[in-house]
Amino acid sequence: MTTNTAPWSQLEAAAAAALSGAYAPYSKFRVGSAAQTSDGRLISGCNIENAAYGVTLCAECSMVGQLFATGGGTLEYFLCFGQLADGELELITPCGRCRQILFEHRGANLQIKTARGIVGIEDLLPDAFGPQNLNV
């Protein structure tokens, strides 16, 4: 059950709150993401850096963990904020890895708020690899 109105202000507040809890001692670039699920839940996540950079968790990864920890479903609306040190809070787009994660857990019409406007996942990850490529 998806609401008829995009919950952008609620998602912005949730992403900003998540960003405030980010662990980014190395890059000083904190990230917070938020989404509304297919059943109307708001979920969020923050980046969690690691001295072994390759095992750093992006905000979208921790958010998808929350998606499944709280009942599963798909993502209907999504946005992501970034902030370098004490700089301005900025609407950012996900990295390539996270675009793939969003694609895997998207609802039929996932809407993503970016600095250039509202886009679909196909705009951020055209010709994506997914379950359709595995015959599942």
Active site residue 122: no
Architecture of the structural domain at 7-130: 3-Layer(aba) Sandwich (3.40)
Burial 96-118 (b: 16+ CB within 10 A, else e): eebbbbbbebbbeebbbbbeeee
Q: At what angle do helices 8-20 and 59-69 cross, to 10 degrees?
A: 110
Give pLDDT tens digits for 35-66: 999 999 999 999 999 999 999 999 999 999 99
pTM: 0.93
Q: What is the DSSP letter of 44?
A: E
Confidence tier at 131 by pLDDT (50, 70, 90): confident
Residue 6 has what pLDDT?
Answer: 83
Give pLDDT tens digits for 65-122: 999 999 999 999 999 999 999 899 999 999 999 999 999 999 999 999 999 999 999 9
Q: Which of 12, 49, 60, 88 is catalytic?
A: 60
Give pLDDT tens digits for 1-14: 444 578 999 999 99
